[in-house]
Structure 1
């Protein structure tokens, strides 16, 4: 358990200052591996979420894998319904998919994230998720495990 009372199997990490401009709220980044496929544990305080963004890549690259390890959060692809994430949920985000992910309003959320290697792998940060859209999502105590 960390100083915030959030229990998880991976370290919380340092405040995610390098990417803070792309988040609403406070997130933390704990790199787990480096090399050809860097893997990180990203943790979100309650209500924290990242901006809409797109991972680009070709020849197998650019897919994002999100594996929820603790807490409760949301993933949403543009034009689709939000997906509730709890420990054990795994999401594959195909390259080129506009999406966002983050904590539910009343829960910490942690996921291990990585991008598949390939050609032309990059990340395009877009606009924040509108506050009124986020507020319409149920809190973890309201929805059980799904939206």
Structure 2
């Protein structure tokens, strides 16, 4: 058993190669512990968002606070709020992040396949973020 007390693990800024704006990540579990699942608490500053990306085995998001935005490629931009649970099927290209005026935190859960959980794509443009394309 390994107990990691609150505050004992530092928050990390998310890699700028995969995110726009200020984003923090805190590991809940990772493949070195579980061998199959990654779970992160991710907090987005206003206007911050992921790049377009997809998951070989899908992804579950659980919004813990604030309000955010999410979009599947070719679909509308949707608002998500604390308490919402979102399932993104395997291979579905999508992005998610905060609204322009609010922080948003969610737990992101995805399974690992062949050593990876996420296939990162290009950044989300401001026009896409604003629902204009």
Q: TM-score range with shorter-chain normalisation?
A: 0.7 to 0.9
Match runs of 1:26-65 below 5 Å:
26-34=22-30, 35=34, 36-56=36-56, 62-65=57-60
Structure 1 residue 94: deviation in Å?
Answer: 0.6
How many residues are treated as equivalent by the alignment? 121
Alpha-carbon distance in structure 2 between the residues aligned to 1:37 and 1:124: 15
Q: Classify the secondary structure of the residue corresponding to 1:31.
A: strand
Q: Structure 2 unaligned runs (5+)?
A: 1-5
1:101-133 alpha-carbon deviations (Å, 9 max, x no partner)? 000000000000111355675422111111122
Q: In the alignment, what sits opposite 2:18?
A: 22
Contact preservation (8 Å) 1:15, 1:26: no
Alpha-carbon distance in structure 1 between the residues aligned to 2:75 and 2:110: 21
Q: 1 or 2, which has the higher helix percentage?
A: 1
Q: Structure 1 unaligned runs (5+)?
A: 1-9, 57-61, 138-147
Q: TM-score, normalised by structure 1?
A: 0.73
Contact preservation (8 Å) 2:45, 2:102: yes
Q: Classify the secondary structure of the residue corresponding to 1:21.
A: coil
Alpha-carbon distance in structure 2 between the residues aligned to 1:132 and 1:81: 13
Q: Classify the secondary structure of the residue corresponding to 2:76.
A: coil
Contact preservation (8 Å) 2:62, 2:83: yes
Alpha-carbon distance in structure 2 between the residues aligned to 1:120 and 1:94: 19
